[in-house]
Structure 1
Amino acid sequence: MRAEDAPIVIGSAGRRLYLIDWFRTALETLGLNGRIIIAENDPTSAAASYGDEMRLLPPYTDPSYADELLRLVDEFEPKLFLSANDYELMHLHVDTNIATGLRERGIFVPGVSPAWQKGCADKLRMARMLEEIDVNTPTTVTGNELDRLLDLTGSSGEFVVKHRFGSRSSGLAVVTANRLEEAVISSARSVRRRADGADALDEVIVQPRVPGSEYGVDIVASLVDGGGLTGVFARRKLRMRAGETDKAVTVAPEPFTEAAVKIARAAELSGLIDMDIFLDDVGMASVIDINPRFGGGYPFVHLAGADVPRYYLSQIFGLTIDSTWRDYEYGVVAAKYQETRVTARGQQSDDSTRSAVEVA
């Protein structure tokens, strides 16, 4: 297969250089001389210069975004387009018909149905959708419904406050009932306002804190037959940093399989989505969040042996692989660390923003 037969596009990779590395390794393992095209709106981002080629796209909010993305597609004719940005995914799958148009051109665009994409972005809607398919999730209300929540759950224990349409734990607070109203007002002050958002308190959700330990779970469905679950990967979170799992230990996926099957089917899933789930002492799993993309927790199962990029490419190019792509070792602890790379040279500097370090 020639190199030009196997281009893939990764959009908004940002700091996730490992994702580019693992797709590159998968291409090599499968004997594909493919190119990885990076689509970013910041030419100096960590990922922008890390692929085989890079193309600048305007922000997804820019009116020219669709035209520029289609120009990229015309140039490279990629087999796969995936994005690691929640808001860009909403624009692709819900606000426009771009994702549908790409699929009609034979490009694989992993994701969920538009209805579930909306649910993943709106934590109140997501709770209701999970309840409809009989998947456990905490009672969820807006910041204007505190009395109703306390009537349902009582005032003992702790409560979780966060942005209804937020990402990476934005607006998060965990408080007792006597500080609940204060926490909701504080969270509402920092909410990312939407054009149709009338009341800031409705942009905040409140839930009783779920007992048990928190897990990250990736569920994977076929890119060819939507909704057909093919893999479940799990890790227990040991430490969080800036809303993302920073240290975790891999665990067996069985406690989460029932919920995974229901969600994959209802969401018409293709590819991978990332979920946050609490598991209590009697084994009851409660889903608290869903991200329809490669999340920050996937590296922990990949380093333990899973290989979703290889699975993606085998499906896209019609290659037969064995089931080892979903095998991973339990009990593997991994932790993230920080690296820095040069992303541009010869840039103008503003001396007024420099800070000097004096050595005594």
Structure 2
Amino acid sequence: MNILLSCVGRRGYIAKYFKDCLTSEDVIIGTSNSPWTSGFKYCDVKLVIPNMESPEYLPTLLQICEDKQVNLLLSFSDLDINILSNNLDKFKALGVNALVPSSEVNQICFDKYQGYEFLTQQGFATPKTYREFNLAVEDINQGKLLFPLIVKPRFGSGSLNLFKARHLKELDVFFHYAPDMLIQSQISGQEYGIDVCLNLQGEVLSVIPRRKRAMRSGETDQAEICDRPDLIDIGIRLGTALGKLGHVGPLDVDFLDNSQDLFAIDLNPRFGGGYPISHLAGGNFPELILRIAKGEKVNSQIGNYQTDIVMMKEYNILGGKHESIFPPGVFNS
């Protein structure tokens, strides 16, 4: 099997998780727009390709799939998924099994206001969100919306350009800092996350909950597996709802628990930064993905994980002669 990990970035550990499930005949292909990509370490084939903004980006990916006879495609980038989800038919025509959400699911996850509307319509708790400044100010004046408030991009990833407004002047500045900003009520409480895996029919195979202990640059840095049946139930319901709209493969969801309710904060239709703890707990989503990609019938794995698992990330230094680090022929001293 030839597996393409698009925008592998710093997710070399995911490539390693896949490699641990493969034979010597299977090939992992990684792509990036720079040879300075640590995730290449565990890729058998390392390809430097144009930036996503380039008109050559999609044709290059399609050509790679054709030339390398790619069987399975996953992406670790929200911006990349936004491109791939709108071109699934092109990859399917090449015989590629793309574990990428449908265009509809992608819009729900990529557009945070659409995500808010979806969660609200489906009956999930989520922070009140505004895309119009005047409507938010009106509710503030009527006492329906209280400071502090969160201001963040409608289309964004991680914690880039996320602000906390303590009063109206700050709210005005932050909202108009960039186009397409959202205003959101702040929920105070413990942060949680779940990793969900769906099969090709959009059925939930696994849900693993974690309590977050520390974050770094919008990504889980320290966490522990927790016993939260309510999170598992939400994961099943949310995964099923998205599965009916065309989601397949991994799903990462962030929550805040304010002791009254669990508020869904973010939907990520891919492996998230907190996945390693689910893997350590026995989740092994790469194995599930490989089995469903081969057409195997995989039974529900819900509840099949250890609860006494913790995770802390550390810096791992990669180095040596450039021949051992970079793709052949691309290094410039």
Q: State the TM-score, normalized to the length of structure 1.
A: 0.82
Indicate the larger mover: 266-275 or 18-27. 266-275
Residue aligning to 1:260 = 235
TM-aligned CA deviation for residue 160 of structure 1: 1.6
Residue aligning to 1:196 = none
Instruction: Give the counterpart letter for 1:240 in structure 2.
Output: M
In the alignment, the residues of structure 2 paired with residue 348 and residue 257 of structure 1 have an alpha-carbon distance, to the nearest angstrom, of: 49
2:71 to 55, 70, 79: 79
CA separation of 1:152 and 1:251: change in aligned 2, threshold 3 A: farther
Residue aligning to 2:160 = 170
2:101 to 94, 101, 112: 112
> CA contact under 8 A between 2:292 and 2:298: conserved in structure 1?
no
CA separation of 1:339 and 1:64: change in aligned 2, threshold 3 A: same
In the alignment, the residues of structure 1 paired with residue 143 and residue 305 of structure 2 have an alpha-carbon distance, to the nearest angstrom, of: 39
Residue aligning to 1:37 = 29
Instruction: Give the counterpart letter for 1:91 in structure 2.
Output: I
Instruction: Give the counterpart letter for 1:262 in structure 2.
Output: R
In the alignment, the residues of structure 2 paired with residue 290 and residue 153 of structure 1 have an alpha-carbon distance, to the nearest angstrom, of: 29
Q: State percent identity of aligned pairs.
A: 28
TM-aligned CA deviation for residue 274 of structure 1: 0.7
> CA contact under 8 A between 1:103 and 1:109: conserved in structure 2?
yes
1:250-292, Cα deviation, whole Å (9 max, x unpaired): 113521234323332332321111111112324x221111111
Residue aligning to 2:15 = 20
Report the secondary structure of 1:293's partner residue.
coil
Q: Matched residue pairs, number? A: 322
Report the secondary structure of 1:262's partner residue.
helix
1:208-251, Cα deviation, whole Å (9 max, x unpaired): 1124311111111112x12x111111111111111111111111
Instruction: Give the counterpart letter for 1:271 in structure 2.
Output: G
Instruction: Give the counterpart letter for 1:274 in structure 2.
Output: D
In the alignment, the residues of structure 1 paired with residue 227 and residue 142 of structure 2 have an alpha-carbon distance, to the nearest angstrom, of: 34
Instruction: Give the counterpart letter for 1:293 in structure 2.
Output: R
1:310-342, Cα deviation, whole Å (9 max, x unpaired): 000111123466766972211422111111213
TM-aligned CA deviation for residue 15 of structure 1: 0.8
> CA contact under 8 A between 1:8 and 1:80: conserved in structure 2?
yes
Please, what is the CA RMSD of the aligned residues?
2.4
CA separation of 1:321 and 1:166: change in aligned 2, threshold 3 A: closer
Residue aligning to 1:281 = 259
Residue aligning to 1:101 = 90
TM-aligned CA deviation for residue 183 of structure 1: 4.5
Report the secondary structure of 1:47's partner residue.
helix
Residue aligning to 1:158 = 148
1:10 to 5, 30, 35: 5
1:230 aligns with 2:208: no
Residue aligning to 1:204 = 181
> CA contact under 8 A between 2:198 and 2:204: conserved in structure 1?
yes
Report the secondary structure of 1:48's partner residue.
helix
Residue aligning to 1:3 = none
Counting only pairs closer than 5 Å after superposition, residues 46-61 of structure 1 correspond to structure 2 as 46-61=38-53
1:243 aligns with 2:221: no
Report the secondary structure of 1:27's partner residue.
coil
CA separation of 1:348 and 1:43: change in aligned 2, threshold 3 A: closer
> CA contact under 8 A between 1:307 and 1:326: conserved in structure 2?
no
In the alignment, the residues of structure 2 paired with residue 16 and residue 316 of structure 1 have an alpha-carbon distance, to the nearest angstrom, of: 21
> CA contact under 8 A between 2:35 and 2:330: conserved in structure 1?
no
In the alignment, the residues of structure 2 paired with residue 234 and residue 33 of structure 1 have an alpha-carbon distance, to the nearest angstrom, of: 34
